[in-house]
Structure formats: structure tokens, C-alpha cells
Amino acid sequence: MKLLNIFSVLIILSLLGCGPNEKIAYKWPIPKDYPKPQVPKDNPMSEAKIELGRFLFYDKNLSANQTQNCATCHQQEKAFSEPLTVSIGSTGQSHRRNSLALVNIAYNKTLTWAHPSLDSIERQLLLPMFGENPVEMGITGYEDEVLSRFNTDKYKVMFEAAFNDNDINFDKINKALASFVRRLISFNSPFDRYAYQLQDNALSASQVRGMDLFFSERLECHHCHGGFNFTQSTTHEKQLLDRRPFHNTGLYNIDGKGSYPLTDIGLNEITLEQRDMGAFRAPTLRNIALTAPYMHDGSIQTLDGVVAHYAAGGRATKQLDINSEFKENMYKSPFVKGFELTDKEKSDLIAFLNALTDESFVSDPKLSNPFN
């Protein structure tokens, strides 16, 4: 759609009152009978707000030095993740963690890899925009300059449509971005067509065998990556339990006493509880084949490597020198206990993980860069 047409539609929406107080209920792009995500009362969903958020998400003017946009670290073709070990901010600063995929983030109980109380997309977005350590968008100290870049006829029309006035400020930018991020819904993988649309031919025989392995007690995968969103950490309108699970997967054990590298000790950094050493939130496995590298620090490059890690029961050896004795990580999740797979079983399991890829999600023009 040409920009002129988009703006014409937005003007009509504005005249109809389809802003934050719109009376037309937003229709989520989710399968029938799926629970709807929870949405803050002060930031209801609307198509106009989502469209504004899409433009902001892809606009490099949102970074202080105009070198990056949100999509730099969250690329649509990679299921809104990026193929770097760790992210690099707009000033060139390397971060310590791998960029999480923005897949069904509207259902996340908590945000980021390891923060038990960060449960609002609006609050989380303040970190990449204004955070100073590490710097991502680098807006702090350049607020007026950044805002002035959006004082254009184009954006005034879009803000008017989204909020019923064209006053441009960071509160509205934040809410529009959050609305677009909530819209990143993915429920059209071959697995979905097999399990929920009952299309028997949606999965190959190998993928069905891999699915059986995934949900078996032998492998235990589903304990941390279960439910309709393939993660134990979910929230929605029908979710009554306050579930905020974090897990130590045995990725490190540098002193034989369960320690993780001081650069990132996971949940323990927030709670100061030793039992939380190396604990991180289990991300969704939807579109997992597109989001390499894996783990919080991007230290595993392939799905084959991830399966090998869990098959071995994690990196369970004392990592001081090659002669170190074998010691279990005392903080490791009991579900990471190791298992044996034949080559065929491993191939089947990875085939199933590939069946969680939603091609329509990563090619949806409604989620794509509007400046291209």
C-alpha cells in the first residue's frame, strides 16, 4: 500500500474515533478458542496504533545517532531475533546477551532473559530506548532532538489516528511500539495445522515421531517448553496461576560449585538468592529454527548443538582444566538430566522443531518494514 493510501485510511480511522478510547473491539489474529493476551487498560489495542508502532519500530530516527532501529536486533526474517551471538547497540557497544525473538511476546509472563518482575512490554521498551548500560537506542540526553524528528506531516497524521491528537511525546511512542510488539502473533506453523486444524498431512512421519519424543517423559522437553506457546512462562486472560519459571540448564559450572561467569549469573543477579544462580527464562520454541544462535549468551550455534547439550545433561563437568573431575551443577534443573538418542531419533526431533516455523509470520507484509 502506498504511503498516501495508508495516511488516508489513518485519517478515516481518526475521524471514526479509533484511537486509545476506541469502541471497536480489536480483533486478535489468533485461532478460534485461543485465549486472548492481556492488555493494559491505558493502552488498548487499535489498528492505527499498531501501524504507527510499525513505522516507529523500523525508523532509525528513533536512535540518537540514527544508525539503528528496533528491527536491527529484531529482524522479521529471523522471527524478530538476530543472527549475532550477542546484540550490538547503536554506539557499537556489545551486549552480554543474545537478542530474544519477539514471538507471541504478548503472552509472556515476564520480559527479558532473567527478570522476575519485569512483566510489562511498555516498561521493558524503556530499557532499549533510554538505557545507558548497555546503550541500545541511546536516547537519554538526546530526547528533544529525537522527538523533533517525528514532527512531520506524515507522523502527525499517524499520531492523530492512533491517539486522537497529534501531540508527539515518548509516552505515545512507547505505547505505539508496545502495541506493534503485541501484534507479533505466530500461530500458523505446520504443527498448528496438524494439532489444531487437524490436517493430518501437515507433519511428516519424521516430524510426528519427533513430536512424540519432545512430549515424552524420556526427554522432558515439554516441562519447560510446554503449552500452546511452547514455554512454561505464559500469561493470558484465562491464566489464573502466577507462573514465572526460570531454569538453570547446566550451561556453565566454572568452579565445580555451580557458578556461572560473573558477566551474567542470571536470575541470581536480581534476587540475590544463590538457588537462582544461572537461572534464565525458557523462551518460546515457536520459530526456533530461525533464531540461532541459542541460549542467553548465544553460545550454541545450531539446533543440533542444543539437542546435544541437553542429551549430555548440560555442561556438567567442572570447567577449570582438562583434568577436572566430573561434578554436577547443584543448581541445574532436575529436568536437564540427559538422555540417549539414536541418529534417527535426533533427526526426528530436529525435524519437529523445524515444524514450529511459521512462514506466514516471517513474511507478513503487515509486520514488515514500511520504508522498503
CATH superfamily of 3-186+361-367: Cytochrome c-like domain (1.10.760.10)
Q: Tell me: pLDDT of 235 over 80.
A: no
C-alpha pair distances (Å), 145 with each of 91, 102, 163: 17, 28, 22
Q: Tell me: pLDDT of 56 over 80.
A: yes
Reported as a pLDDT band with limits 50, 70 and 90, residue 232 is: confident
Q: Tell me: pLDDT of 21 over 50.
A: no
Q: Say what the pLDDT of residue 238 is.
A: 64
Q: List, for residues 71-123, the tens digit of each pLDDT value.
A: 999 999 999 999 999 999 999 999 999 999 999 999 998 999 999 999 999 99
Domain boundaries, the chain: 3-186+361-367
| Comparison of pLDDT for 358 and 234, the residue scoring more | 358
Reported as a pLDDT band with limits 50, 70 and 90, residue 172 is: very high
Question: Is residue 182 within 8 Å of 106, Cβ to Cβ?
Answer: yes
Average pLDDT, the chain: 89
Q: Tell me: pLDDT of 5 over 50.
A: no
What the block records as the C-alpha cell of 211 is 513430536
Please state, in angstroms and rounded to a whole number, the distance separating the CA atoms of residues 229 and 158.
Answer: 32
Q: Percent of the chain scored above 90 by pLDDT?
A: 79
Q: Say what the pLDDT of residue 245 is.
A: 83
What the block records as the C-alpha cell of 60 is 532509525
